[in-house]
Chains A and B, each alone.
Chain A
Amino acid sequence: MPPLLLAAAAEAASCAPMRLNDLGHLLQVMGTFLGLSLFSLGGGNTLLAEYHHLSVVQYCWLRPAQFADIYALAEAAPGPSSMIVGLLGMGAGWPEGPGWALLSAYGAEIAILLPSTLLMVVACLSWNRLRESPWRVAFERGLGPITLGILFAVGVKILQTADTNAPGVVVSLLVCVLMLRTRISPLWFMAVAGGLGAFGLINR
């Protein structure tokens, strides 16, 4: 087991978590999410790779497996899956206890929603002028393909982060095809795959 321990030690050394033990750090986290808000194209999923970078690589709030878990939980839970930001904030604050984790969760979620909400309000109020503007047309047509590329990159990133064994990857690919070809609720896929995990067929 020494190689494993060494690897774990190296990982711990390379990734020193930014502790959210005071309000200054919490505000820094909120600032990060405030700055990302307006980049959530294509319904917000474009931000997932960035969330991964921030929480796993840069700030070390979460281990890669935890990020994968949290993504799955946010997808499985009812409501908009973009609420994953609340769970990231919770992970960031967890070492300081559940109370601080909740505060950090609400802070992160408010920060990611505030700028896009304000822009959306302005957009609604001025939509009649925006509708025919060449800026709108160019924005819609130009950012679409970029969103497409980002979504593929996000899919690959999540697949890498999931890091399951070969049967797990087969299940991932199968779910991808079923998502595209059928209208079965994804909750079924998660339930069945969770069962396969419980029996040890899928592991990581």
Chain B
Amino acid sequence: MTEPPAPTAAPPGLGQLFMGMLMVALSAFGGGLSAWSQRIIVEQRRWMSNEEFLTGLTVARLFPGPNQINMAVYVGTFFRGLPGALAALAGMLLVPFTLLMAIGLLYFQFHSLPALDRVLAGVVAAAAGMALSMGFKILDEYWKDPMALLLAAVTFVLMTFFHVRLVPLVLVAGPLAMAWYWPRRSQPGPPAGEPR
């Protein structure tokens, strides 16, 4: 059980990156993509250390784009630059996207069938609940920072009640919020203390 921490393996080539991310995507059918990519990339193939992997998660969450997809881009770039990123991305998306396209074609062909529409009405109710939970999921991180809660509340009100669109909202509110949270030498944390 307690294997010694083996040295990291030779850096993967483009084909290996593609196959590795394909394996991650296939293993993660049903969820847990992040856990599976850690298991396969760090533990099984030993391409990178756990620390390097966690750095990747940080970068993937920070920058725009879907987290899982950014993570694949990070792994690919880490070893082979832009070509590696594209190979990893293709491996990650090939099977799920093909499947989704098949689902989509079936949906647009048959969605007017009453039986299917009835089932979908129920599924949609559950999916709406999932969408509603997204904000609450990260609310804890900001609970002790009144300024953050104010920013979030203003953003919510502007979008929901005044129908302000995303792009102008982010372009105006983003720089203002960044100015407020600009790190000050004397005061390294955000004004109301580090989130948790």
Contacts and interface: CB of A to CB of B under 8 A. Distances in A.
Nearest to A124: B77
Nearest to B107: A73
A146 B101 contact: no
Contact of A117 (B69, B97, B165): B69
Interface string B134-162: 11111101100101110111111001100
Interface size class of B (residues with CB under 8 A): 35 or more
A164 B125 contact: yes
Given A146-B152, A176-B130, A120 B124 contact: no
B190 interface: yes
Dominant SS among interface residues on chain A: helix
Contacts of A105: 101, 104
Nearest to B167: A39
Interface residues of A, number: 113
The main secondary structure of chain B at its interface with chain A is helix
Contacts of A23: none
Given A119-B65, A120-B63, A193-B122, 10 more contacts: A37-B65, A44-B65, A72-B123, A77-B99, A86-B100, A86-B101, A121-B85, A145-B155, A145-B177, A158-B132
Interface of A: 35-50, 53, 65-66, 68-80, 82-83, 86-87, 90-91, 94, 98, 101-102, 105, 109, 113, 115-121, 123-125, 127, 134, 136-159, 161-162, 164, 168-169, 171-180, 185-187, 189-190, 192-198, 200-204
Interface of B: 25, 28-31, 33, 55-56, 59-70, 73-74, 77-78, 81-82, 85-86, 89, 92-93, 95-97, 99-101, 103-105, 107-109, 111, 115, 118-139, 141-142, 145, 147-149, 151-156, 159-160, 165-167, 169-170, 173-174, 176-183, 190
